[in-house]
Chains A and B, each alone.
Chain A
Amino acid sequence: MSLVTELLAGNRRALARIISQVEDDGPEAHALLAELHPHTGRSHVIGVTGAPGTGKSTLVNALAKTYRSQGQTVGIIAVDPTSPFSGGALLGDRVRMRDLAGDPGVFIRSMATRGSLGGLARATADVILVLDAAGFDRILVETVGVGQAEVEIASAAHTTIVVEAPGLGDEVQAIKAGVLEIADLFAVNKADREGADRAVLALQMMQGLAPAPAGHHGTGRQAGHAAPGAQADGAWLPPITKTIAVRGEGVAALHDWVEQHAAYLRETGQLARREATRAATALNHILRERLIAALFAGLTNGELDRAISAIARRELDPYTAADHLLQAEKPGFPGIVRRP
């Protein structure tokens, strides 16, 4: 039996080995993904992002339990950073997910960010596809909530939950990292802690929804009145849910919002649009990787170095240098970019 046949038959070892192939971009990865692709497109993919320590893993554990109690199966991808110094990684998210151990309806995979930004987004999207083909109803993807990588990974999810927690200065961080744009739902976790209401208020203010201060009227979008969720004009206003992940409190409400968002995506035709975005992102990454690999493979030894030193010596500008490199006749890279 082939690995893919075994995966489709529910063999978890085969699933784990295919994920490794795909993550390593190993020799069989592309063939495996091609074989799996027709079996994908059924899972709802939920991204869970936020600063370290906000309680993402704990929340993923609690959400997964909620889904399991309703008979849905859950695949989990937990991403932690690779150390830039050693290339190694300490992946500790499973510590918070021990409640899920022994449940055949759950599969947890830890992933390190490894090299490049684009590489992570590619690998994550591919591992999502593998879990999707394996038939998990919901896929939860926990990512380190820092910077641009979030935006890329969000494009691989249908519903993105941004997790905030009081006392971490996240109000500011959220704006900085641009996570406001990617959030479909907000969870203010650690609601047992002082400052949770302030965090909720800060988020509402960013949404333009906080009640106007006394004496002011009509500032902000329907100040204080718009109900979150699907709006009459077809937009989606991200709801803010307070949770205490360690106790499972508020998690049922968060779960309901995820499902409402999934329904909203289906009913408004946005799902098809998100699928197109996912497809575009995936294809873009692959094309970029391939084109660059093909270009470098076609360059003779030293061609690049000569161009670099010519630029450094101010004999050539980088744009002209790039034109030269792209125009030269190269085996396997015939005139992809050629100016008339």
Chain B
Amino acid sequence: MTDRKIRVLVAKPGLDGHDRGAKVVARALRDAGMEVIYTGIRQTPEMIAEAALQEDVDVVGLSILSGAHMALCPRIVELLRSQGMDDVVVLVGGIIPDDDVAPLKNLGVKGVFGPGTSTRDIVEFIRQSVG
């Protein structure tokens, strides 16, 4: 009886300490039938990549409000790749200026979700991206 669940790591890298948004998304993904591993605030890129590996997730969802996304996202993508997790879907949500969206996608971030995004769109995006 194969029961393949979509597994998602929700992490909050960087130093800002507020994770309300991340928790809302985590709950929405659970309610959409996914298994969500929630790791909490102040995660380093190394911690996130390692947790993603141990948990063998399909998706890594990052919540970044601090403005450090251009430093954090590429680092996390690079760490995931270096451990052979090339096909993990990396998403970022939070406060991301429009001008940064294209560069982030070029660096390997699959989806960027701004503050107004409905959780339903994120669920849909994940279902489409995870084969």
Contacts and interface: CB of A to CB of B under 8 A. Distances in A.
A12 interface: yes
Contact of B40 (A86, A88, A98, A115): A98
B30 A89 contact: yes
B46 A16 contact: no
Interface size for chain A: under 10, 10 to 19, 20 to 34, or 35 or more residues?
Answer: 20 to 34
Interface residues of B, number: 32
B36 interface: yes
Nearest to A114: B3
Nearest to B26: A90
A98 B5 CA distance: 25
B29 to A, nearest CB: 7
Given A12-B54, A13-B84, A114-B3, A102 B35 contact: no
B4 interface: yes
Given A25-B2, A90-B26, A90-B27, A101 B38 contact: no
A89 B34 CA distance: 6
B51 A94 contact: yes
Contacts of B72: none
Contacts of A115: 3
Interface string A307-336: 000000000000000000000000000000
Interface string A1-43: 0000000000011001101100011110000000000000000
Interface string B42-63: 0110110011011110000000
Interface of A: 12-13, 16-17, 19-20, 24-27, 82-83, 85-92, 94-95, 98, 101-102, 107-110, 112, 114-115
